[in-house]
A and B are shown apart, each in its own frame.
Chain A
Amino acid sequence: MSVVFDRPKALSPVSTHYCPGCTHGIIHRLVAEVLDELDLTGRTVGVAPVGCSVMAYNYFECDMTEAAHGRAPAQATGLKRANPDSIVFTYQGDGDLAAIGTAETVHAATRGENITIIFVNNAIYGMTGGQMAPTTLPNQVTQTTPYGRDVKVAGHPVRVCEMLSTLDGVAYAERVSMDTVPHINAAKKAIKKAFQYQVEGKGFTIVEVLSTCPTNWGLSPVKALGWLQENMIPHYPLGVYKDIGAEVQK
């Protein structure tokens, strides 16, 4: 009998701690499939963040580190500068990357650090129990915006791909989503391109993945996917925001 579905080699044979219905597991799998397909696992060092994916170091079969909150791009810079032959990626959530780690993210991007960031945007702080994230939508109810995010008080959400695409050091920035199978397939293509660009030394690459948090959104996994489609995608349009490969082809 032929095997039609198996665990990618780059994914560790362990159970994850993620909540039922959370899409971190799918995103982990996509990264692992890409590492397998590009045969990069032996050269790769991954950086886990602080947040729900803090224990990602247990889930990938490559060398891993765990960073302080928001500092993954700085740590990745040190890893890459010390060992330029390695493939370095960070896996970060919205609070980690777009609040406490904004400076590290923006400056790694503008330096054109040859690293790849997998940025999981689920519009909420999951690990700490559902507080407002920098990407929480206007009027979205969270633990710390119980009356809905009032932009006059709490400010506006950050659009990361749009912001980073203005920087010269960025080689590739694309926003993808976990809500449908076609979108998940597109996400894998984007992640693969990002790693491929790093192999080619093109510079800073980021894939923003719109993701769900059924637990803290207070929705069933299926309803959460619907909420993502109806609310997040209109605010965070999917697509390629920067691709220096495509620009060259024009």
Chain B
Amino acid sequence: MADKVLMKGNEALAEAAMCAGCRHFFGYPITPQTEISAYLSKHMPKVGGTFLQAESEVAAINMVLGAAAAGVRVMTSSSSPGISLKSEGISYIAGCDLPAVIVNVQRGGPGLGGIQPSQADYYQATRGLGHGDFHMIVLAPSTVQEVIDLTFEAFDLADLYRMPVLMLSDGILGQMMEPASFPEGTGRTLPEKDWAVTGTQGKRKKNIVNSLYLQPDELERKVMERYERYDAIKKTEQKCERFMMDDAEYVVVAYGASARVAKNAIVAARAEGMKVGMIRPITLWPFPVDAIREATEQAKAFLTVELSMGQMIDDVRLACECKKPVHLCNRTGGMIVKPQEVLAKLKEISGGAK
């Protein structure tokens, strides 16, 4: 492990992508992902990589598709309204079984919304970002170090499962600075990209990268094959952090920036004698269903802390099969939930401090 450096989340993500072997980036300016593009425009040319500012988000994601089809590691980054524009291309990338990393540094919405941090794109990220039956792996870092580690992971998972991976960050994580270090790599063994369109060189049959299947039985078979892969991912790739969960009766569920706020509240609640813990999803898809299910027995209630009107709360309800009440503590529109608000909510649902 190398020495620690002090870096902004967005810049750390950009550097991590380059360390992970990404040499191709296509993007379009939007706040608050700005530093990712700025960093890569400065550093990609130094290593012979491609930084290209596209004419639109729509063009950028289709450039990503082209580069992915050619077999290279490729990334694009944007923020909420720009991700909506990319949804067409993301659906095609999923339909073509191509690996690519897409970054969403979330801001408030809907519409042009605002430019302050938000988690209101949870539904969009986890329910299939585009038309058709598909999923993408969604990773949600909560510290700058985790931004780095999960960026490495994102490229590996994309290559391993041949599918788009979404890094779901937000304006807080993107802008804040923390000391972090860069790992050498993940050590995973990844499959050959023998499907890539790099020219046959007269040595093999032609490859076709395509999402069109006009015969319904063929399309159904393709989609079902993809869902078999998704089932395998659900079994092996669920990831979460358990914080003070051993004897927890009240289980906070929060990810990303709001999990940082929740942690402060939990420490304060523990100081007041409340048995509170947290499950922090690191993969939002696949959602850490097993961890929630496991905690359902011991929990008196769940509380999700979200920078939205409550979106992940649905996944918690599904995972605990509504066996325990699931409450919400939230702010939205770019407003940040405060630890005191989380603490007050914990007291309210537990019927007051012990």
CB within 8 Å of B: which residues of A? 41-45, 47, 54-55, 57-58, 60-68, 71, 74-83, 85-87, 103-104, 106-107
Taking CB atoms and an 8 Å cut-off, the chain B residues in 35-86 that contact chain A are 50, 52, 54-56, 58-60, 62-72, 74
**Cβ of B200 < 8 Å from any Cβ of A?**
yes
- The answer to whether A86 and B209 touch (CB under 8 A), given A76-B66, A78-B26, A78-B74, is no
Taking CB atoms and an 8 Å cut-off, the chain B residues in 201-236 that contact chain A are 201-203, 206-212
- The answer to whether A45 and B198 touch (CB under 8 A), given A54-B212, A63-B207, A104-B55, is yes
Among B24, B58, B59, B207, the residue within 8 A (CB) of A82 is: B24
Instruction: Encode B21-32 as 1/0 by CB contact (under 8 A) with A.
Output: 000101000000
Among A44, A75, A76, A107, the residue within 8 A (CB) of B199 is: A44
**Cβ of B155 < 8 Å from any Cβ of A?**
no
B208 to chain A, nearest CB (A): 5
- A55 and chain B: residue at smallest CB distance: B212
**Cβ of B197 < 8 Å from any Cβ of A?**
yes
Q: Is the CB of B208 within 8 A of A77?
A: no
Chain B residues closer than 8 Å to A74, beta-carbon distance:
54, 58-60, 62-63, 66
Given contacts A74-B60, A83-B199, 5 further A-B pairs with CB under 8 A are A81-B67, A82-B71, A82-B74, A83-B70, A103-B58
CA distance A103 to B211 in the complex (A): 23
Among B63, B70, B212, the residue within 8 A (CB) of A66 is: B212
- A107 and chain B: residue at smallest CB distance: B55
Which of B59, B208, B212 has the most chain A CB atoms closer than 10 A to its own CB? Answer: B59
Which of A68, A82, A83 has the most chain B CB atoms closer than 10 A to its own CB? Answer: A82
**Cβ of B285 < 8 Å from any Cβ of A?**
no
Which of A44, A71, A75, A86 has the most chain B CB atoms closer than 10 A to its own CB? Answer: A75
Q: Is the CB of B198 within 8 A of A81?
A: no
**Cβ of B287 < 8 Å from any Cβ of A?**
no
Chain A residues closer than 8 Å to B67, beta-carbon distance:
78-79, 81-82
Q: Is the CB of A78 within 8 A of B71?
A: no
Chain A residues closer than 8 Å to B26, beta-carbon distance:
78
- A17 and chain B: residue at smallest CB distance: B214
Q: Is the CB of A75 within 8 A of B198?
A: no
- Give 7 CB contacts A-B under 8 Å: A43-B201, A64-B206, A64-B209, A67-B62, A71-B62, A82-B66, A104-B59
CA distance A86 to B67 in the complex (A): 12
List 5 A-B pairs, minimum CB-CB distance, nearest first.
A78-B66, A74-B62, A82-B70, A63-B197, A78-B63
Q: Is the CB of A79 within 8 A of B50?
A: no
Taking CB atoms and an 8 Å cut-off, the chain B residues in 176-204 that contact chain A are 197-203
- B201 and chain A: residue at smallest CB distance: A42
Chain B residues closer than 8 Å to A67, beta-carbon distance:
62, 65, 92
Chain B residues closer than 8 Å to A47, beta-carbon distance:
66
A161 to chain B, nearest CB (A): 20
Chain A residues closer than 8 Å to B212, beta-carbon distance:
54-55, 66
Q: Is the CB of A68 within 8 A of B89?
A: yes
CA distance A63 to B69 in the complex (A): 10
- B212 and chain A: residue at smallest CB distance: A66
CA distance A79 to B63 in the complex (A): 7
- The answer to whether A79 and B197 touch (CB under 8 A), given A65-B69, A71-B62, is yes
CA distance A68 to B69 in the complex (A): 14
Chain A residues closer than 8 Å to B153, beta-carbon distance:
none
- A76 and chain B: residue at smallest CB distance: B66
Q: Is the CB of A41 within 8 A of B202?
A: yes
CA distance A82 to B199 in the complex (A): 12
A46 to chain B, nearest CB (A): 9
- A72 and chain B: residue at smallest CB distance: B62
**Cβ of B341 < 8 Å from any Cβ of A?**
no
**Cβ of B315 < 8 Å from any Cβ of A?**
no
Q: Is the CB of B206 within 8 A of A61?
A: yes
